[in-house]
Amino acid sequence: MIEAFQNIFKIPDSRKRVFFTFIMLAVYRIGAQIPTPGVNALALQEFFKQYASGILGFWNIFSGGAFARCTIFALGIMPYITAQIIFSLLVVVWPYLAKLQKEGGAEGRKKINQYTRYATIFICVVQSLGISYWVKDLISPSGVRVVANPNLWYHFSVIIILTS
């Protein structure tokens, strides 16, 4: 087992991939701790302690706990997975995409992947808009508003931050 792990680091390409993976995990963990501007993280955590069962808890699991803290990575990878599922289904029912996948070869798949990325951005914008409007009205069990000043700038900044 140890020998197999050591062999990974002997191959330059594998070593690069492993280091890249560790760096991305570190970046995600750091981003999952940075709260979204304008959100009172303590009030939101109080709210989640009381109402974390059901769909909110489920969504929080998929975001690695970032949703309950309303951090900059609160959306996680769900928008990309959703876009991939949508395009997997669209390839079956939309003749243009089916033809592009079958006859386009690598270039066709590349184009479908590009469409998937565009759809991911759209889904991110919609979900972040939903989160910003949902969080603005929350009040913690102790009576503290989660968002003190829910103005237009707050919504715009949350959409930009969560989408990027």
Whether the per-residue pLDDT at 84 is higher than 80: the answer is: yes
Model pLDDT for residues 32-56, shown as the tens digit of each residue: 888 888 888 888 888 887 776 777 7
In the DSSP assignment, the letter for residue 2 is: H
pTM for this predicted structure: 0.79
23 neighbors 130 (Cβ within 8 angstroms) = no
For helices 55-62 and 41-51, give the axis angle rounded to 10 degrees.
120
Q: What is the largest CA-CA distance in the chain?
A: 60
Task: Write the DSSP assignment of 20-89 as a string of letters.
Answer: HHHHHHHHHHHHTTSBPTTB-HHHHHHHHHHH-STHHHHHHHHTTTTTTTTBTTTTTTHHHHHHHHHHHH
In the DSSP assignment, the letter for residue 161 is: H
Q: Name, in order, each residue with C-beta under 8 angstroms of 82's C-beta and a sequence gap of 6 or more.
A: 120, 123
Least trusted range by pLDDT, from 32-36, 46-50, 86-90, 95-99: 46-50
136-155 burial code (b ≥16 CB/10 A, e <16): bebebeeeeebbeebeeebb
Sorted by where each begins, the domain ranges of the chain are: 32-163
Predicted local distance difference test score (pLDDT) of residue 70 = 82
Q: Name, in order, each residue with C-beta under 8 angstroms of 37's C-beta and a sequence gap of 6 or more.
A: 154, 157, 158, 161
Q: How far apart are CA 162 and CA 76, in angstroms?
A: 9
47 neighbors 145 (Cβ within 8 angstroms) = no
